[in-house]
């Protein structure tokens, strides 16, 4: 069973992602090492002892829909109550509304542990936390006063309603409509699909954030507004009133995360005899809903990245445990009697070390993104702008690379288990099934790559990414001058990878500047993996310099996995023409 790797998480936060220097400088007020360690320790205990034991029952029984009501698996509702009673939903929420206002870094570290223990559980509060951020930044004073305190505490949960049957990633095609009533409220009509925790039994109210169009809205994304639509209307005294005209008409039968209800939501259909039109209130300005929703979306993208890290960690733990128990064949390194535990076989070791290295790499990238968010919040002027650019640069890496390797590592875990990995009873297959959704939702990983190349590489006039590469190069130089034993060819491998990264970056920036977008986009996905691997190698080196016990894994990554960067550079620079030519053969007349 999963055990939260609290020490490794704390080390990565403090010594790789930058928390220690921020704590030492007093950037987070009175927050110190002792409190950080206490929060992580208790979060790890709760994830290990409370959440993880309910994973299997959640996977096997799933959520059930009957008469427009969703029942979660046995024990899950009670688990959620213990979770909010522990204050976990309020960890990084605004103090004004009952939150603890702790750094984002601590919030995502705890989120990793919830999702490792049971991704279907951890995904629910993720949307609530995003709703809190969107309301805190964009909602009116009245809406904040009525809804934020109970969302921050977790007494109510929130959702994000974007997707419609005809509009997946292309939000310009949204058809849901909002009609003004005349008293400041609106009536919402339409259908939304793939709504995570759109209906459930965890809380007695659910607060939906819904994208819809006003009657006179401009076409496309410029005409989208954001509305708050509660399941139950809320009185001025905070008491629940009548049921709103919104309900769940169906649950998706999914590959994984079975305990997480993925709902089709119907707005304005006259549910239970109500006057047609779900009552909602505008968040932010008319026709500016996408900007408001992206506050929530960017939060969700980092959180989804943590799901990738989380599944990777859980799959790695399970594979290592199995490899130490399962006996098969002979191995030169095994001195015992009988068949050797398969962990002694070099090919199994290669798989396990790949899993460990990629997990730590993705964790470092994601925590570094969270660190940038925190530093932007506590800084001002040019320093704040620098950290906002850094958070923006790292967000697509955290989301896409982490979720890609989550699938990759879950698959390697199946391989380590051999034929038993394909059998549901071992539990290894469940990680793969859960992980596979994460590269798809909150903006597919292809969209993350487009965002990285077209919007993030130009940050700071195109200079910010090169400043980041220079920081990574400093880590490589520190390895070269450290005189520590065991690094092997790590410094050479890092220098080569960062050189490839710099060349590929300038190439893509040149294409974009010349208006050759299709050629740039042909290399976007390989570029995202390239920059993530190069950055990850540097982060592993930083960790190894701080703790020499980490040198062997750093060297393994540098000498066995980092060579992929060279091939990725070639794909970025030389692959566009062949992609365009071959792509034409796929298009039907």
CB atoms closer than 10 angstroms to residue 469: 19
Element (H, E) at 267: strand 262-267
Rama region for 272: left / alpha / beta (φ>0; ψ in -120 to 50; rest): left
Nearest to 544 by CA among 534, 559, 554, 557: 554
What residues are labeled active site? 442
Can you tell me the distance from the alpha carbon of 474 to that of 495, in angstroms, rounded to the nearest whole number?
10
DSSP-assigned states of every residue in 284-340: SSTT-HHHHHHHHHHHHHHHHHHHHHHHHHHHHHHHHHHHHH-B-S--TT--SSSSP
Element (H, E) at 42: helix 33-46
Residue 279, strand partner residues: 187
DSSP-assigned states of every residue in 515-549: T-HHHHHHTHHHHHHHHHHHHHHHHHHHHHHH-GG
Nearest to 565 by CA among 508, 497, 467: 497
DSSP state of 482: S
Contact residues for 233 (Cβ-Cβ < 8 A; gap 6+): 240, 241, 242, 243, 244, 279
DSSP state of 224: -
Can you tell me the distance from the alpha carbon of 238 to that of 246, in angstroms, rounded to the nearest whole number?
20
- φ, ψ for residue 100, nearest 5 deg: -95, -10
CB 439 within 8 A of CB 445: yes
Q: Name the pairing type of β-strands 157-161 and 262-267.
A: unpaired
Element (H, E) at 70: strand 69-71
Can you tell me the distance from the alpha carbon of 429 to that of 413, in angstroms, rounded to the nearest whole number?
8
CB atoms closer than 10 angstroms to residue 140: 15
Cα 158 to Cα 226, 230, 322, 424, 466, distances in angstroms: 14, 9, 38, 32, 38
Tokens found for residue 415? 């391989």
Cα 521 to Cα 186, 461, 464, 516, 517, distances in angstroms: 40, 19, 20, 9, 6
Tokens found for residue 267? 């707005």
Rama region for 16: left / alpha / beta (φ>0; ψ in -120 to 50; rest): alpha
CB 151 within 8 A of CB 158: yes
Q: Name the pairing type of β-strands 206-212 and 157-161.
A: parallel
Rama region for 29: left / alpha / beta (φ>0; ψ in -120 to 50; rest): left
């Amino acid at each position: 069973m999963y055990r939260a790797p609290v020490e490794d998480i704390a080390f990565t936060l403090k010594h790789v992602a930058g928390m220690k220097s921020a704590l030492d400088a007093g950037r987070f007020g009175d927050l110190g090492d002792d409190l950080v360690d206490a929060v992580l320790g208790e979060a790890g205990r709760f994830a290990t002892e409370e959440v993880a034991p309910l994973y299997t029952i959640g996977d096997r029984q799933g959520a059930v829909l009957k008469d427009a009501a969703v029942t979660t698996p046995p024990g899950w509702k009670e688990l959620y109550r213990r979770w909010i009673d522990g204050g976990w939903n309020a960890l990084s929420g605004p103090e004004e509304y009952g939150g603890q206002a702790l750094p984002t870094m601590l919030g995502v570290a705890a989120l990793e542990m919830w999702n490792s223990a049971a991704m279907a559980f951890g995904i629910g509060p993720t949307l609530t936390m995003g709703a809190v951020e969107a309301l805190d930044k964009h909602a009116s004073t009245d809406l904040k006063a009525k809804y934020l305190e109970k969302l921050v505490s977790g007494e109510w949960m929130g959702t994000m309603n974007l997707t419609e049957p005809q509009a997946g990633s292309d939000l310009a095609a949204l058809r849901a409509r909002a009609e003004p009533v005349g008293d400041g409220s609106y009536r919402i009509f339409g259908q939304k699909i793939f709504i995570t925790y759109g209906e459930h039994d965890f809380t007695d109210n659910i607060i939906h954030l819904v994208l819809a169009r006003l009657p006179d809205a401009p076409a496309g994304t410029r005409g989208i507004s954001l509305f708050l639509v509660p399941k139950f209307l809320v009185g001025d005294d905070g008491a629940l009133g009548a049921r709103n005209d919104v309900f769940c008409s169906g649950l998706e039968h999914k590959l994984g995360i079975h305990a997480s209800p993925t709902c089709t939501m119907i707005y304005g259909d006259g549910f239970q005899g109500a006057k047609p039109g779900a009552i909602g209130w505008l968040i932010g300005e008319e026709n500016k809903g996408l900007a408001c929703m992206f506050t929530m979306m960017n939060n969700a993208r980092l959180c989804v990245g943590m799901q990738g890290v989380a599944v990777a960690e859980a799959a790695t733990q399970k594979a290592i445990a199995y490899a130490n128990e399962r006996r098969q064949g002979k191995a030169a390194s095994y001195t015992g009697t009988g068949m050797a535990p398969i962990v002694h076989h070099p090919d199994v070791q290669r798989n396990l070390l790949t899993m460990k290295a990629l997990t730590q790499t993705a964790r470092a990238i994601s925590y570094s993104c969270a660190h940038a968010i925190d530093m932007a919040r506590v800084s001002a002027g040019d320093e704040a702008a620098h950290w906002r650019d850094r958070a923006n640069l790292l967000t697509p890496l955290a989301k896409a690379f982490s979720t890609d390797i989550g699938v990759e590592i879950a698959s390697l875990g199946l391989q380590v288990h051999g034929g038993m990995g394909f059998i549901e009873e071992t539990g290894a297959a469940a990680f793969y099934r859960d992980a596979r959704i994460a590269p798809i939702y909150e903006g597919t990983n292809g969209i993350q790559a487009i965002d990285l190349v077209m919007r993030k590489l130009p940050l700071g006039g195109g200079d910010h990414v090169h400043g980041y590469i220079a920081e990574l190069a400093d880590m490589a130089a520190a390895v070269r001058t450290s005189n520590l034993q065991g690094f092997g060819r790590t410094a050479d491998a890092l220098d080569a990878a960062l050189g490839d990264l710099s060349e590929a970056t300038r190439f893509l920036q040149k294409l974009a500047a010349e208006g050759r977008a299709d050629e740039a986009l042909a290399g976007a996905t390989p570029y995202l993996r390239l920059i993530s691997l190069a950055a990850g190698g540097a982060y592993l080196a930083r960790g190894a310099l701080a703790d020499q016990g980490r040198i062997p894994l750093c060297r393994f990554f540098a000498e066995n996995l980092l060579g992929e960067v060279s091939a990725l550079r070639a794909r970025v620079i030389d692959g566009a023409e062949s992609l365009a030519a071959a792509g034409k053969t796929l298009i039907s007349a």
